[in-house]
Structure 1
């Protein structure tokens, strides 16, 4: 696999599409949010931290919608594992995708891990899977915010993101971290 190249704020993000639990296909190019699309990449059904994160997100979906933010979560899990996650974790309103290729995960700058066997939930980790990431993309397809992690711990808190979005939307705050060459901004 190739080295990770971070996505840059204010630049177009890579294409992204995947099947959804329950049918249909989610595609970033089809999104027409009032303000943003938020994509939550999660490790998969084996991850208890993912369950907590997505349950928290489920409880705040309406809050994101009120701010003009479309929300989706996706992993490289199979359809069967994704369906089990949606049902077991009680995520009736969250669009949950599956089948994310590791190549696409890398294109988005995600880290890839190898299996360490069964987790505390009793589920086997896949042989390879992506670590968490959260991206907020403007309606024009450019990156606004990114959080990419090497570990399942200490993820962004959705309550804090909602507060930040209130400020960002009210003040038309620009994406930050856009400078590629600090010697020639």
Structure 2
């Protein structure tokens, strides 16, 4: 079970721009933020990541190291980056079902083609957003069972400001 103030599960994913994003190697000033999205088949993910793309400078200014990852393979992740015009968000790929389960992300099965005409994978994880402190402990987890109602990024930025200003502790550890 994920618990705040405890070590976050290790995460390591290949990046489209080369190299590997590995949580234990990250040294953010403030937080690491892992945005797990459903994949290129998801129009809600497109909207969310496009919004994230627009806010990347604000996250960077707050010392937040961001990566977005899905279970898509490299080709589908490249399609998302290109078609969704994600020039600022580091995109990783290859989130396995086992790792998604370890992160407590719900797993869905395919229903065929989506509203945007792209085939769903046989199984894929639902979205989540994880904030991890520089010491590797989980600060917060936002886990969805549906592609809707994700943390609004403008509100998340305000929350990060509050966290930093007040040295606000992680909650939900008991």
Q: TM-score range by the shorter chain?
A: over 0.9
**RMSD between aligned residues:** 0.6
Please state whether the residue corresponding to 1:63 is helix, strand or coil. Answer: helix
SS at structure 2 position matched to 1:121: coil
Give 5+ residue unaligned stretches, structure 2.
none
Matches of 1:119 and 1:150 in 2, distance apart?
17
Of 127, 131, 146, 1:132 maps to 127
SS in 2 for 1:92: coil
CA distance, structure 2, for counterparts of residue 146 and residue 81 of structure 1: 26
Shift of 1:93: 1.4
Give me the whole-angstrom Cα distance separating, in 2, the residues matched to 1:36 and 1:88. 28
Look at both structures and tell me which one has the larger radius of gyration over its CA atoms: 1
Aligned to 2:49: 54
Question: What TM-score comes out, normalization by structure 1 length?
Answer: 0.93
The answer to whether structure 1 residue 14 and structure 2 residue 9 are counterparts is yes
Number of the residue aligned with 2:146: 151
Counting matched residue pairs gives: 174
1:22 offset after TM fit, Å? 2.5
> 1:28 maps to what in 2?
23
The match for 1:38 among 33, 46, 50 is 33
Tell me the TM-score normalized by structure 2.
0.99
Correspondence 1:112 to 2:107: yes
Deviating beyond 2 angstroms after TM superposition, the runs of 4 or more aligned structure 1 residues are: none
Decide which moves more: 119-128 or 19-28.
19-28
